[in-house]
Amino acid sequence: MNQPVAEFANLHPDLRGVNPESYWLPFTPNRHFKASPHARTMVSASGPYYTNAIGNQLFDCLSGMWCSPLGHAHPKIVEAVTKQVSTLDYSPAFQCAAPSTLKLAERVAAMAPAGMDHVFFTSSGSEAVDTALKIAHAFHRCKGEATRFRMIGRERGYHGVGLGGISVGGIPANRKAFASLMINGVDHLPHTHNLGEMAFSKGQPSWGAHLADELERMVTLHDASSIAAVIVEPVQGSTGLLVPPVGYLKKLREICTKHGILLIFDEVITGFGRLGTNFAAQRFDVMPDMITFAKAVTNGVIPLGGVIVRKDIYDAFMHGPE
């Protein structure tokens, strides 16, 4: 056993006899963790603090990867989870439901913008994004528009680790290893970051709304009849918290409506109060056709995501074959 591992095993009662070599961290340089696993292993959390294996208390500046806005070990959440697990720990989602599922769908729909009243649950934000892309594709087929297959993402966008999300995402380092697996027919809008125009600006920058007009160029290039959906983060998270320019999202909405293209807001990060409203769609007063969510919906304690859709999108699936 190497020295870091030997030290690791003696640090905390829960770690006795544990060798961290078996663990493969996601989306992370594993060598950094394996070089000092004791400092990077969290053994408890309460309120806004983590405690690691060597006893250091760490302030959770990122709110648990944006998952835990209510802090850790919240008594009401602990009580609710304990009660649910002891009553009904699992119920199949195929052809079945549970009281908690029905109640949550109703509450999420009530929090969403008016007219978005149907909720499709998933197990993560990445799955929610891939589900939204599939819904967009299938919706157009249900409407007799099977030629609409193309998806438009945005440069520097992040939409999870599913192949659909990586395809519409626009961070080169996340895409380069999977080029041969990317879904066909994806294009990307330009990002809205321009330091020369936006340096030291507060809130929404006044420069940049015109960048949404690039979508019109893509419509001309590809033809509207081939474009199924546009997906953007209202506030781009992983690339550096880029706030949309004033009027940018409204322009995207107008262009999508004009050409019959669905607009998807990826609100895995911004949903459930992150911007002071239930969803960013309400904060910026722009109605998308679908909203993806995850993270804060359960405060991070249980893996859950979902897609909220307009009633007419849901209805399109209710009139075809079973």
Burial of 9-39, coded b for 16+ CB within 10 Å and e otherwise, reads: bebbeebeebebeeeeeeeeeeeebbeebbe
Structurally, how many domains does the chain consist of?
A: 2
Considering the domain boundaries, does residue 84 fall inside one? no
Does 15 lie in the same domain as 95? no
Question: Residue 146's closest CA among 223, 220, 226, 260?
Answer: 226
Does 238 lie in the same domain as 99? yes
Does 169 lie in the same domain as 54? no
Considering the domain boundaries, does residue 67 fall inside one? no
The pLDDT value recorded for residue 3 is: 56
pLDDT at 150 over 90: yes
Q: Distance (Å, rounded) from C-alpha 150 to C-alpha 171? A: 19
Considering the domain boundaries, does residue 76 fall inside one? no
Considering the domain boundaries, does residue 248 fall inside one? yes
pLDDT, one tens digit per residue, over 176-208 is 999 999 999 999 999 999 999 988 888 999 999
Range of lowest pLDDT (4-13, 209-218, 277-286, 312-321): 4-13
pLDDT, one tens digit per residue, over 90-114 is 999 999 999 999 999 999 999 999 9
The pLDDT value recorded for residue 5 is: 60
Q: The domain containing residue 55 runs over which residues?
A: 3-61
State the average pLDDT for the chain.
94
- CATH number of the domain that residue 22 is part of: 3.90.1150.10
Considering the domain boundaries, does residue 68 fall inside one? no
Does 130 lie in the same domain as 43? no
Does 127 lie in the same domain as 214? yes
Q: Distance (Å, rounded) from C-alpha 51 to C-alpha 118? A: 39
Does 210 lie in the same domain as 131? yes
- For 277-285, what is the mean pLDDT? 98
Give 218's DSSP letter.
H
Burial class (CB in 10 A: 0-12, 13-18, 19+), 70: middle
Considering the domain boundaries, does residue 81 fall inside one? no
Residue in this structure with the two tokens 């893996």, named with its chain if needed: 303
Q: Map residue 12 onto helix, strand or coil.
A: coil
Does 148 lie in the same domain as 32? no
Considering the domain boundaries, does residue 79 fall inside one? no
Does 292 lie in the same domain as 149? yes
Does 142 lie in the same domain as 22? no
Does 113 lie in the same domain as 258? yes
pLDDT at 268 over 50: yes
Last residue of a domain, one of 45, 61, 77: 61
Give the H or E element holding residue 317.
helix 311-317
| DSSP class per residue in 146-188 | TT--EEEEETT----SSHHHHHH---HHHHGGGGGGSPSSEEE
**Cα-Cα-Cα-Cα dihedral of 227, 232, 238, 244, to 10°?**
140
Considering the domain boundaries, does residue 83 fall inside one? no
Does 133 lie in the same domain as 8? no
Radius of gyration of the chain (CA): 22
pLDDT at 309 over 60: yes
pLDDT at 4 over 60: no
- CATH number of the domain that residue 121 is part of: 3.40.640.10
Does 285 lie in the same domain as 204? yes
